[in-house]
Amino acid sequence: MVTLSDVAKEANVSKMTVSRAINHPEQVTPELLALVEKAMTKLDYHPNSVARALVNNRTNVIKFVTLEDIDTTEPYYMNLLFGVARGLKADSYAIQLVTDIDQIQKGNADGYIITGAREYNYPIFDELKKPFIFFGETSSNFDFVDTDNRYGTSIATKYALERGYQDAVFIGIDVKEGFEYAREYGYLASMQERNLEPKIFRTGNHSHLAEKLIDEQIENIKPNTCFICASDRLAIGVCRALSRLNKKLPEDYGVIGFDGVFLDQVSNPQLTTVKQQIFKMGDMLAQLILEKIKQSGSAQGQTYVKPELVVRGTTK
């Protein structure tokens, strides 16, 4: 293994000059800098991140915490995770996956990325001694990254109406969470802008529940309506019901989902959906937490990432 000392010998300087050339190049004269760099490339030197971590009292580990009790199998998190991995790559940071809330405090890390946090989890975070960033809006003043949900349903609704659907109905998820409120709000505002009366139904986030809902309500919904759904799961259920009821998609009715992860593509026909930029958000989370660590915990603010409408087979 090539060490700092080896490079120092090769370049005929002290270890410290090499160290400085790496970490504070502005403190080294250009001539020596060149010498050191030549030696480093010649020997193919790579800093030992463990030794570096030891002196800096770091671990080079970020904990990726998934608190939601949902099936972590959700492809959603996979995307996020790969985004995080990408953001961490350059700094030779590694990830520890945590699904059990009791495990958060076990072992060490330089920082945390936390997903699926609920209000009642907040006390736990107050005890964390290392910086953390949330994925998903929080009511507290924590740093977070989230999708601009309001914007998402807003562009979906507008698109539907522009494409010639006469009405838009919202199929929401029956939970009291910020993301759902935001998605409903985006729909509401867009409807009111056009002086249309909003209509919102809610049910559990399962395709068969949405299917049942449509079965029951289809008589109250006039043709040439577009369903704006709060998730792709719901959208798939809506499609299934419509198809069974012999309604033509996308002529008689339109369907727009939300999420754009995996499900939208395996459905038949493929869903028009509001696609969250999950990979990108993962990348951002990584960069923000690294920055926060560097700045020993200073706030990084709250970031909303705009989703994009992906038009496929379920809308005109």
Partner DNA sequence: TTGTACGCGTTATCAC
Partner DNA sequence: GTGATAACGCGTACAA
How many Å apart are CA 215 and CA 218, to the nearest integer? 6
208 three-state secondary structure: helix
Short-list 126, 148, 146, CA closest to 134: 146
Listed in sequence order, the DSSP H helices in 228-277 are 232-244, 263-266
What does 95 interact with, of DNA, its own copies, none (CB < 5 to 8 A by kind)? its own copies
Closer residue to DNA (CB): 3 or 217: 3
CB 232 within 8 A of CB 204: no
What does 140 interact with, of DNA, its own copies, none (CB < 5 to 8 A by kind)? none
156 three-state secondary structure: helix
Closer residue to DNA (CB): 43 or 305: 43
Q: Which of positions 24-83 make contact with DNA (CB under 7 A)?
A: 27-29, 31-32, 47-48, 51-52, 54-57
Least CB distance to its own copies at residue 110 (A): 11
Among 11, 81, 145, 160, binds its own copies (CB under 8 A): 81
Per-residue binder mask for its own copies (CB under 8 A), 263-292, x = binder: x--x-x------------------------
DSSP 219-240: GGS-SSEEEEESSHHHHHHHHH
- 268 touches DNA by CB under 7 A: no
How many Å apart are CA 184 and CA 150, to the nearest integer? 7
What does 303 interact with, of DNA, its own copies, none (CB < 5 to 8 A by kind)? none
Give the chain's radius of gyration (CA, Å): 25
Among 82, 142, 185, 304, binds its own copies (CB under 8 A): 82
How many Å apart are CA 168 and CA 171, to the nearest integer? 10
- 130 touches its own copies by CB under 8 A: no
Q: Which of positions 220-259 make contact with DNA (CB under 7 A)?
A: none
CB 259 within 8 A of CB 74: no
Closer residue to DNA (CB): 15 or 206: 15
- 295 touches its own copies by CB under 8 A: no
Short-list 149, 162, 190, CA closest to 281: 149
| Burial (Cβ within 10 Å: 0-12, 13-18, ≥19) of residue 222 | exposed
What does 14 interact with, of DNA, its own copies, none (CB < 5 to 8 A by kind)? DNA
Distances (CA, A) of 130 to 61, 103, 136, 204, 312: 11, 15, 19, 36, 44
Least CB distance to DNA at residue 27 (A): 5
- The residues binding its own copies (CB under 8 A) are 1, 46, 48-51, 53-54, 57-61, 72-75, 77-79, 81-82, 85, 88-89, 92, 94-97, 99, 103, 107-108, 207-208, 211, 233, 236, 240, 261-263, 266, 268
- The residues binding DNA (CB under 7 A) are 1, 3-5, 13-17, 19-20, 22-23, 27-29, 31-32, 47-48, 51-52, 54-57
